Structure 1
Amino acid sequence: MMGKLSTRHLEFPAQLIVQQGAVSNSDYLSTLLASKRILLAIDEGVRELARNALADLYHSELCVIHAIHAANLQSIREIDISCATQQIQTIVAFGGGKVLDVCKRLATKRNIELIVIPTALSSDCISSPVAVIFDEQGQKLSLPAAIPNFIIVDTELCARAPNRLTQAGIGDLLSNYSALLDIEYAKDRVGVDGFSFLLAKSAANEILGMEQYGLDELVVINQLAEGLILSGLAMGFSGDSRPCSGAEHLISHAIDYLKFGEGLHGEQVALAMRFCHALRQQLSLPCFEESVLATLDGFGIRSTPKALDITKAQFLEALSIAPTMRKGRITFLENLPIMAKEDIEQAYQKAFKD
């Protein structure tokens, strides 16, 4: 007889809203005003937006406004002190990835209710169990973080974000296709979590082929928001970032470590995804469909070394240390030391036509 199969207990946000006018139409925020001590975390760039979009909350006597200046350990300490001294019961994170990551990490430490309201869709940090935080030496850390209790994505609000941030979010989401190839590559040694694999692929499918629309059109913003949320949840189900982070992310981490260029995270993983695709082709390894690159190009995402102010020598240096960026992360780049230099060179030329 077959024994009883075990199941997993998975974390979801308690509530999720993705729609036009979601902030102004949210009864939940109004309910909070009447009963809880709230900290509204923002950055200076969205202060006026918060004042208008969250007027009742912003001016409430029960609400403490806290500006986050950087996604670093010091910011986490500062907001932690504010929560303790003000007896905060709920944090509302309103802003971009910097604000969301600091608040997610703080919510983990303090075990406090967290509501996130992104003002830009530049990465999958909205729902991911990871916070990207800088240490005292300026190096990026990927730390465990709470999945928000409540996610509110006002598509009309996010459509006003600079196009480059939206493009970066698309780049980050499309990179799932590359990461999933590395899961397939390593499946005999690490195994495949089928559910998180399916979620990560479904997430990327949300934006594939949407390049005929404008970056600020609500149909794109809606699809991108849903895809990034699914992407974050895929990592939560997996217990790590593997469904959405493969060789392309290792290269991006190396670029960050070496402090090369001026690319956003989503642009860097898009650049690295483009190269990994060309290198896989060169090595006759499985590749994603060309339609992925067509979507990348159709949305005009900066994804070449020149566009991100990275020289060829710098890119190749970052590539050389990429496999060391995350201990235990198996990708096809583990074969880098034995790859022919000609294959790497030809892949670079094909990817970037440089």
Structure 2
Amino acid sequence: MPLLARTVTTPLAIEVRRGALAELGTLLHDRRISGGGDVAVVVGPGQGERIAELVRPSLGNADMFHICGGTVDSAMDLSQGLRQRNYDAVVGIGGGKTIDTTKYAATRLGIPMVTVATSLANDGICSPVASLDLDGRRGSYGVQIPLAIVVDLDFVENGPDRQTQAGIGDALSNLSAVADWELAHRERGESIDGLAVALSRSGAEALVNHPGKIGDDAFLTTLAEALIMGGISMAVAESSRPASGGCHEISHAIDHLFPGTGSHGEQVGLGALFCTYLRGDQERFAQLGACLRRHGLPVAPGDLGLTDQQFGLAIAHAPTTRPDRYTILEHLAMSPAEIETRVEGYADALRDLVG
């Protein structure tokens, strides 16, 4: 009998609203994740104590773990702490470093993990990948996607605007990543997953067309959903393909050549706009550029403090960061002189966009 359907792993629950953190125990109970609140709650620095106080009333049997996340070592230390008793689930509360550290530790021990995001800086809130440092170098590690995802808009709104702007750039870059995947499918016969494409692109399309601002609940909800769908698309594809193309290669190259330049979201947003220019998609270029500008994200190398020459060096280096990935950068295989010409043309296109 032919296989007519497939099983897709997705979170049991997704909640994006204000006040969600204080009702975490009810959510875990109602979704049969933890009836008695026997969970490990992992919080990071900064708002950790405030968060712990909010969740304690609804999670009386929980153990609190305070970490400084972001590294494999911190994830291994957390793993050791989680061995002290049997937990129904591990709840990671905070930003990207705390969540990625928790995802890694929970996956290592085979314990279900719940994400409670207090910022929307990247798609790590749902992705099957943990970005952690090891010996001073950033690496990506495969993990299980969360069993449930909660986004508390009260915390997102009170956080730095730059974190939300980074999330916008990360979500919008999916438009370029999907275009690169489709290019690889046409040119090289690379296998493509239509469901993963639909999830990734539809979330980004909703965001790029949304008229709201970063302080609006409706816009923040759309951003959260776009990041979540991007993460699920990677789980469906069993690859980062639907959310990582030439845009991410450029960002990795900037990190390598000019560390500390900008946030991940800022860099991939700029990379996505440049790759869209390279593809000659003028309508998408205008749409994406207008959205990035509207939300205060970089659109030119100078917005990140890079010269055109430095940006050109990053473009030249970008394909080496993912030798197995075929994007518009590999397709054009530009020489240094061609890169210089394209960067000049990109600057002209940005000026036309303003006009």
Q: TM-score, normalised by structure 2?
A: 0.89
What is the letter of the counterpart of residue 288 of structure 1? R
Contact 2:28 / 2:35 at 8 angstroms: preserved in 1? no
1:41 pairs with 2:17: no
Does 1 or 2 have the higher relative contact order (CA < 8 Å, sep 6+)?
Answer: 1
Q: Which piece of structure 1 moves more, 12-21 or 332-341? A: 332-341
Counterpart Cα distance in 2 of 1:235 and 1:33: 27
Aligned to 1:11: 9
Aligned match for 1:165, one of 163, 166, 172? 163
Query: Hey, what does 1:206 align to over in structure 2?
Result: 206
Q: Is the 8 A contact 2:275 2:328 kept in 1?
A: no
Bigger drift between 90-99 and 48-57 goes to 48-57
Cα distance in structure 2, aligned partners of 1:310 and 1:333: 20
| Greater helix share, structure number | 2
Alpha-carbon distance in 1 for matches of 2:343, 2:299: 18
1:22-61, CA deviations, whole angstroms, 9 ceiling, x for partnerless residues?
A: 2234413467776353221111112143034324257x4x
Distance 1:337 1:79, change over 3 A: same
Instruction: Check the 8 A contact 1:275/1:351 in 2, yes or no.
Output: no
Residue 290 of structure 1: how far off its partner (Å) = 1.7
Deviation track 1:154-202 (CA, whole Å, cap 9, x = no partner) reads: 2233222211111111111111111111112111321321111111111
| Structure 1 runs not aligned, ≥5 long | none
2:145 & 2:263 partners in 1: Cα distance? 23
How far is the alpha carbon of 1:5 from its aligned partner? Answer: 3.5
Mapped contact 1:160–1:216 kept (Cα < 8 A) = no
| Alignment partner of 1:53 is 2:54 | yes
Unaligned stretches of 5+ residues in structure 2: none
1: CA distance between counterparts of 2:238 and 2:53?
Answer: 38
Q: Match of 2:204, as an amino acid?
A: A
Q: Which residue of 2 aligns with 1:115?
A: 114
Matched, 1:324 2:325: no
Instruction: Give 1:143's aligned residue.
Output: 141
Alpha-carbon offset, residue 118 of structure 1: 0.3
Structure-2 separation of matches of 1:347 and 1:101 = 38
How far apart in 2 are the matches of 1:351 and 1:166?
27
Identity of aligned residues (%): 32
Shift of 1:348: 4.3
Partner of 2:195: 195
SS of residue in 2 equivalent to 1:206: helix
More deviation, 201-210/118-127: 201-210
Name the CA distance, whole Å, in 1 between partners of 2:206 and 2:339. Answer: 36
Equivalent residue for 2:230? 231
Structure 2 CA distance for aligned equivalents of residues 315 and 169 of structure 1: 22
Which is worse superposed, 229-238 or 150-159?
A: 150-159
What SS does structure 1 have at the residue aligned with 2:158? coil
* 335-344 or 212-221, larger mean C-alpha shift: 335-344
Deviations 1:73-107 (A, max 9, x none): 11111100100134444211000011111111122
Cα displacement (A) at 1:303: 4.0
| RMSD between aligned residues | 2.3
Preserved contact between residue 261 and residue 308 of structure 1 (Cα < 8 Å): no
Distance (Å, rounded) in 1 between the aligned partners of 2:234 and 2:262: 23
**Aligned match of 1:94:** 93
**Kept in 2: contact 1:124–1:172 (CA 8 A):** yes
Q: Which moved more, 1:72-81 or 1:40-49?
A: 40-49
| Count of residue pairs the alignment pairs up | 344
AA partner of residue 310 (structure 2): Q
Contact 1:280 1:287 in 2 (8 A): no
In 2, Cα distance between the equivalents of 1:130 and 1:173? 15
SS of 1:54's equivalent?
helix
Deviates more, 1:68-77 or 1:32-41: 32-41
Give 1:256 shift. 1.8
Q: 1:274 to 1:347 in 2, by over 3 A?
A: farther
In structure 2, do the counterparts of structure 1 residues 171 and 29 end up closer, same or farther at CA, with 3 Å as the change threshold? same
Alignment of 1:1-354 (within 5 A): 4-26=2-24, 27-29=26-28, 35-56=36-57, 60=60, 62-136=61-135, 138-188=136-186, 189=188, 190-210=190-210, 212-281=211-280, 288-334=284-330, 335-338=332-335, 340-350=338-348
Counterpart residue type for residue 18 of structure 1: V
AA in 1 matched with 2:315? L
Q: 1:36 to 1:310 in 2, by over 3 A?
A: same
Q: Deviations over 1:100-157 (max 9, x none)?
A: 1111112221110211100001111111111111111x21111101110111112233
